[in-house]
Amino acid sequence: MKKNLTIWAILALSTIGFIDSVYLALKILLSSPITCSAFGGGCDIVAQSKYSAIVGVPLSMLGVLFYAAIIIGITYYLQRRTIKSLEWIAYGLLFGGLFSIYLLALQAFVIEAWCLYCVVADAIGIANALLAIRLLRMK
Amino acid sequence: MSNKGKEILTWVVLAIGLSAIVAGIYGAVAQPGEIGKEAGSLVAPVTATDKTKGSAAAKVTVVEYSDFECPACSYFYGMLKKLEEEKGDAVRIVYRHFPLPRHRYARITAQAAEAAGMQGKFWEMHDMLFEKQKEWSRSEDIQGILIGYASAIGIDTALFINDLKRADIDEKIDRDMALGVEQKIEGTPTFFLNGNMIQFRSYEELKQLVEAELSK
C-alpha cells in the first residue's frame, strides 16, 4: 500500500515537473532572446548563463526528457511490476535529485540569481529522490 | 478488454496526454506581437533633452527604454537599425537609458554614449556598443575598450574621458531611469510606438506595427 502511494506520488510530482520543464523549454526556445527583467527575479539571467545548457542542449529540454522518461518508466512498472524497472526508476530519480541539488547550488552561489521554474523543477527532483530512497528501503 | 488491449490503451492515452500538454503550453507561450493598450501609454512625452534620431516631424516615433549590456537590447537593436534604413525620415527613434543594476557595465556604457553625444556622436557610440556587446561585456578593461570606441568613431578621446565623469550626464541617465520607473517598465528593452507599448519578436512584426501607424 505504501509502495503504491509512493509510486503515485512520484508520478504526480513528475507530471508537474514535466509541465514545468515544457513551459520553461518552450519559453526559452520561442522568445529569443529573453528580455532583461528589471526586478530581482532572474529567469533571464539563469537562462542566459553558461550553465544553462550541456553540449548545446538547454537544461530545460533535458528536464522535459527526464520527466517524460520517469513518467514512461512508472507507467511501464505499473503494468509489468518488475523489480528491475522499479530499480531503474529509483536510481534515475536519485541521480536526478543529486543533479537538482547541483543546479540549485549553481543558482545560489555561482550565478547568484534564481529562476522560479528552475527552482520548481529542482525541488521536485529532490522530492522525487527522497521518495526513491523510500522505495529502495522498502524492498 | 484484454490485458494487452488495456496496456496499449494506457500507452496511447499517455502519448496523447503528454503531447496535449506540450501542444497546450506551446499555444499559450507562442503569442504574436500586439499593441498592449492596457500595458501602458507613454507617461513622459519626448522632449528636447531626449536622444532622438530622425525628424521631429516624423509620423511615427519609437521610444525605447534600454540597457547597453542587455543581450535582448542588442538583439532588437538590429531590428531598429533595419527600420531606420527602410523608413528613413518617416520614423523617429528615441533612446532612453535604463541601465539595470545587475549589469556591471550598463552604467558606464550609458555614460559613454552620453559623453560621445557631447561631441555629437551619441548614435555612433550607441551602435558601436550594441554591435560589440559580446566583446566589451566580457572584458576586464572596459575603460580601455570605450576609449578605443571613442577613437574609432572619431571623437576627441581626452575630452571623452573627461566627459564620462560629468554630473549632468549622470543626472540625465538618472532622469531617464526615473521615467522608466514611473512608466512601470518591467525590463529592457521596452518599446513604445506613438505612445503605446508594443511587443514584437521579429522585424516583420515591428514593420507591420509601424506601417499600421504610418497608414493612419
In tens, the pLDDT along A15-28 reads: 999 999 999 888 77
Q: Which residues span the domain enclosing B127?
A: 35-214
Cβ of B25 within 8 Å of Cβ of A22? The answer is yes
Per-residue pLDDT band at B34 (split at 50, 70, 90): very low
Packed helices B142-152 and B106-118: angle between N→C axes, nearest 10 degrees: 30
Cβ of A26 within 8 Å of Cβ of B100? The answer is no
- Interface residue A72 vs chain B (CB under 8 A): yes
The amino acid at B208: Q
Q: Which comes out higher in pLDDT, residue B1 or B104?
A: B104
Shared domain for B22 and B50, answered yes or no, is no
The chain-wide mean pLDDT, for chain A, equals 88
pLDDT of residue B38: 41
Closest-CA distance, B40 to chain A, in angstroms, reads 16
pLDDT of residue A33: 54
Torsion of Cα atoms, B44 then B213 then B200 then B47, to 10°: -20
| Percent of chain B's residues with pLDDT above 70 | 95
Q: How far is CA A19 from CA A25, A28, A129, B23, in A?
A: 10, 14, 18, 11
In tens, the pLDDT along B112-126 reads: 999 999 999 999 999
Cβ neighbours of A79 in B, within 8 Å: 7, 10
Q: By the 8 A CB rule, do B82 and B136 touch?
A: no
Shared domain for B26 and B111, answered yes or no, is no
Shared domain for B80 and B14, answered yes or no, is no
**What is the mean predicted confidence (pLDDT) over A78-83?**
90
Please, what is the Cα angle at B58 between B57 and B63, to 5 degrees?
Answer: 115
Shared domain for B111 and B175, answered yes or no, is yes
**What is the mean predicted confidence (pLDDT) over A112-131?**
91
Query: Which range is least confidently modeled, A52-61, A69-78, B51-60, B205-214?
Result: A52-61
Shared domain for B102 and B166, answered yes or no, is yes
Q: Specify which residues B97 forms β-bridges with.
A: B66
Q: By the 8 A CB rule, do A28 and A62 touch?
A: no
Residue of A18, A38, A71 lying closest to B186 (CB–CB)? A38
The grid cell for A87 is 530499480
**What is the mean predicted confidence (pLDDT) over A61-73?**
94
pLDDT of residue A48: 75
Domains of chain A with bracketed CATH: 2-31+40-138 (1.20.1440.130)
The ipTM (two decimal places) reads 0.82
Cβ of A44 within 8 Å of Cβ of B187? The answer is yes
Shared domain for B99 and B22, answered yes or no, is no
Per-residue pLDDT band at B90 (split at 50, 70, 90): very high
Domain count, chain B: 2
End-to-end CA distance of chain A: 13
Shared domain for B21 and B72, answered yes or no, is no
Shared domain for B66 and B89, answered yes or no, is yes
CATH number, residue B118? 3.40.30.10
Shared domain for B128 and B109, answered yes or no, is yes
CA distance A103 to B125: 38
CA distance B120 to B141: 25
- Residues of chain B numbered 97-156 and touching chain A (CB < 8 Å): 98, 100, 102-103
User: Mutating which of B98, B186, B205 best tests the A interface, going by the most A Cβ atoms within 10 A?
Assistant: B186
CA distance A106 to A99: 10
Cβ of A26 within 8 Å of Cβ of B71? The answer is no
Cβ of B70 within 8 Å of Cβ of A35? The answer is yes
Q: By the 8 A CB rule, do A57 and B56 touch?
A: no
Shared domain for B133 and B103, answered yes or no, is yes
pLDDT of residue A111: 85
Q: Is the pTM of this model over 0.80?
A: no
Per-residue pLDDT band at B133 (split at 50, 70, 90): very high
Shared domain for B18 and B54, answered yes or no, is no
Helix (H) or strand (E) holding B65: strand B60-66
Cβ neighbours of A44 in B, within 8 Å: 72, 187
Shared domain for B56 and B11, answered yes or no, is no
The grid cell for B87 is 523608413
- Interface residue B25 vs chain A (CB under 8 A): yes
Per-residue pLDDT band at A1 (split at 50, 70, 90): low
